[in-house]
């Protein structure tokens, strides 16, 4: 029996490793020249860049995954401080807070979000949820402690009354593809993942993590076809028969699609497409990214979040499909040399969330860099610069409207309301990755690989 995985992102690689041993043959077909998808990396002279993730959260998920595939977990380094949050006006020094460890002020919050985290991991994240799961006895009897209908911002305001702390506890919603005003409070568990469980850095960066998966796949005998975009899906009755690439057709018994969900719909005959009204879906933001090779005086921790002006206006820009105005622009900065002294060059990544469908404006990265220097007292010389934006997400990953993170985690796109893990009409066409359950982010996508493995083996 042969399993064909379309897309070599974290979701595709993790699924390939989990299915090898259950299937005689596992083939990964990847459009790009390297694997990793949004978690890829690139090199420019002495500088190396992780193109996507920089926060390694929920280490217990990776421990479980590697245990299941018979590999040792990827080595990690603890990141300290966890994060610095800057809040103020563009081009001016403002107020800031650096989180080293749990403060007294956070104890009650972490106790309550820790409860949500533990229940979610046990009840929601380790299984493909159905509507019935909302009727679970433990969930119903704890509705007050697992707030599904309240917004994250409202929930946070019960614990913190300063603007700075509310912003510090609200920015994690951007990782979930939303804002603190439209993300359900139950996702405050991400704050527990950060402040309660700790922030880690995979040795060698996410490049090292992806390479670990890739080498493990190769050792297990997974076949890779790189530079092979799938351009068509051939169907026979209620099954996928093969996928077509420029170098030929690949047949299989089970197909797992890791490529962007919307794009896989476009490759199917009309009657088999999963979602007819894509325009109704709430997409997670795209991003404008500055990959900068730098020198100079850097007063930066590994992770910095900067909030400027009226942050609601930045979130509004995501809804209104326009770029943020510089004075109300928030951004995130990764400076991993603060943790990883072995890096030859110093790489700085500036990430500005922007609406899907917008176009890259490199000036925003320049504005953010100047602002960062002022706020942190750094003096930064840029030796290398590459700007990456929504158009690149479309051309590199076939991302619908250039979304960076897929589908946002609003209530009606959570759990059983996310896109299905199997095509409703094609019995051997499965989906894995950030569009399906449980959702966005490397740990979630790793869980999604475990879920799709279980589903395939149950339905074989």
What is the contact surface with ligand FAD in residues (CB under 6 A)?
A: 6-12, 29-32, 37-39, 52-55, 229-230, 258-260, 263, 287, 289, 351, 397-398, 404-405, 433-434, 440-443, 445
Helix (H, G, I), strand (E, B) or coil at 44: strand
Other CB atoms within a 10 A radius of the CB of residue 274 amount to 20
Least separation in angstroms between CB 28 and ligand FAD: 9
Q: Specify the 3-state DSSP secondary structure of 244.
A: strand
Provide the minimum distance between the beta carbon of 142 and ligand FAD in the complex, in angstroms, as a whole number. Answer: 27
DSSP class of 279? G
Strand, helix or coil for residue 254: strand
What sign results for the dihedral spanned by CA atoms 312, 313, 314, 317? positive
Residue 11 or 170 with smaller CB distance to ligand FAD: 11
Neighbours of 224 (CB within 10 A): 18
Query: At 226, phi and psi to the nearest 5?
Result: -90, 170
Residue 334 beta carbon to ligand FAD: minimum distance, rounded to whole angstroms? 8
Q: Which CB atom, from 301 or from 443, has the smaller least distance to ligand FAD?
A: 443
Q: How far is the CB of 35 from ligand FAD (least distance, A)?
A: 7
Q: How far is the CB of 398 from ligand FAD (least distance, A)?
A: 4
User: Mutual orientation of helices 442-459 and 10-19 as an angle, nearest 10°?
Assistant: 40
Q: Is 270 exposed, middle or buried (0-12, 13-18, 19+ CB in 10 A)?
A: exposed
N- to C-terminal Cα separation, the chain: 11
Nearer to ligand FAD, 159 or 214 (CB): 214
State the nearest-atom distance from the C-beta of 159 to ligand FAD, in Å.
24
C-alpha torsion sign, points 211, 213, 218, 219: positive
The Cα–Cα gap between 67 and 79 comes to 24
Choose among 55, 358, 315: nearest CA to 183: 315
Of 12 and 309, CB closest to ligand FAD: 12
Nearer Cβ to ligand FAD (30/86): 30
* CA pair distance 405, 285, nearest whole angstrom: 7
Cα 339 off chain centre by: 21
What is the smallest separation between the CB atom of 175 and ligand FAD, expressed in angstroms? 6
In angstroms, what is the minimal distance from the CB of 135 to ligand FAD? 29
Would you say 11 or 290 has its CB closer to ligand FAD?
11
Among the listed residues 335, 404, 326, the one whose alpha carbon sits nearest the alpha carbon of residue 362 = 326
Question: From the CB of 205, what's the least distance to ligand FAD, in Å?
Answer: 11
Sign, CA torsion 267/270/274/277: positive
Decide if 458 contacts 450 (C-beta within 8 A).
Answer: no
- Closest listed residue to residue 437, CA positions, set 453, 452, 456: 452
Minimum distance from CB of 245 to ligand FAD (Å)? 7
Angle between helices 10-19 and 205-220 (to 10 degrees): 30
The encoded tokens of residue 220 equal 């297990």
Q: Closest separation between CB of residue 433 and ligand FAD, Å?
A: 3
Q: β-pairing, 286-297 with 346-354?
A: antiparallel
Q: How far is CA 109 from the centre of its chain?
A: 24
- Cis previous bond, 42, omega within 30: no
Min separation Cβ 424 and ligand FAD, Å? 20
DSSP annotation of 123 reads I
Residue 147 or 418 with smaller CB distance to ligand FAD = 418
What is the separation of C-alpha 19 from the centre of its chain, rounded to a whole number of angstroms?
Answer: 23
């Amino acid at each position: 029996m042969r399993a064909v995985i379309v897309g070599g992102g974290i979701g595709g690689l993790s699924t390939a490793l989990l299915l090898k041993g259950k299937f005689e043959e596992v083939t990964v077909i990847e459009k790009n020249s390297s694997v990793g998808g949004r978690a890829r990396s690139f090199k420019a002279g002495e500088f190396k860049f992780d193109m996507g993730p920089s926060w390694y959260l929920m280490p217990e998920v990776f421990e479980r995954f590697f245990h299941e595939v018979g590999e040792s977990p990827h080595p990690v380094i603890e990141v300290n401080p966890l994060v610095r949050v800057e809040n103020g006006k563009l081009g001016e020094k403002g107020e800031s807070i650096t989180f080293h460890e749990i403060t007294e002020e956070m104890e009650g919050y972490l106790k309550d979000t820790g409860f949500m985290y533990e229940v979610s991991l046990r009840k929601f994240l380790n299984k493909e949820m159905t509507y019935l799961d909302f009727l679970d006895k433990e969930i119903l009897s704890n509705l007050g402690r697992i707030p599904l209908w309240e917004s994250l911002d409202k929930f946070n305001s019960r614990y913190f009354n300063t603007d700075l702390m509310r912003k510090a506890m609200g920015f994690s919603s951007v990782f979930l593809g939303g804002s603190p005003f439209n993300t359900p409070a139950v996702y405050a568990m991400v704050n527990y993942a950060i402040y309660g469980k700790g922030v880690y850095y995979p040795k060698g960066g996410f490049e090292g993590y992806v390479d670990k998966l890739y080498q493990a796949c190769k050792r297990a005998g997974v076949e890779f076809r790189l530079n092979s975009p799938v351009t068509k899906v051939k169907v026979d009755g209620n099954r996928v028969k093969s996928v077509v690439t420029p170098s030929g057709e690949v047949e299989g018994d089970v197909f797992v699609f890791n490529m962007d969900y919307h794009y896989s719909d476009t490759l199917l005959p009309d009657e088999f497409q999963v979602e007819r009204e894509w325009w109704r879906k709430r997409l997670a933001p795209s991003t404008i990214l500055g990959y900068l090779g730098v020198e100079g005086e850097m007063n930066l921790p590994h992770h910095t979040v900067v909030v400027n002006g009226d942050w609601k206006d930045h979130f509004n820009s995501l809804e209104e499909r326009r770029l943020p105005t510089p004075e109300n622009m928030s951004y995130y900065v990764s400076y991993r040399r603060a943790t990883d002294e072995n890096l030859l060059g110093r790489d700085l990544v500036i990430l500005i969330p922007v609406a899907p469908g917008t176009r890259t404006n490199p000036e925003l990265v320049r504005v953010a860099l100047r602002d960062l220097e002022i706020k942190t007292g750094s003096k930064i010389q840029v030796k290398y610069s590459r700007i990456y934006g929504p158009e690149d997400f479309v051309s590199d990953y076939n991302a619908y409207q250039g979304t960076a993170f897929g589908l946002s985690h609003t209530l009606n796109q959570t759990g059983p309301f996310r896109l299905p893990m199997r095509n409703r009409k094609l019995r051997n066409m499965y989906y894995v990755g950030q569009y399906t359950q449980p959702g966005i982010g490397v740990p979630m996508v790793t869980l999604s690989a475990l879920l799709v493995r279980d589903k395939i083996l149950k339905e074989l």
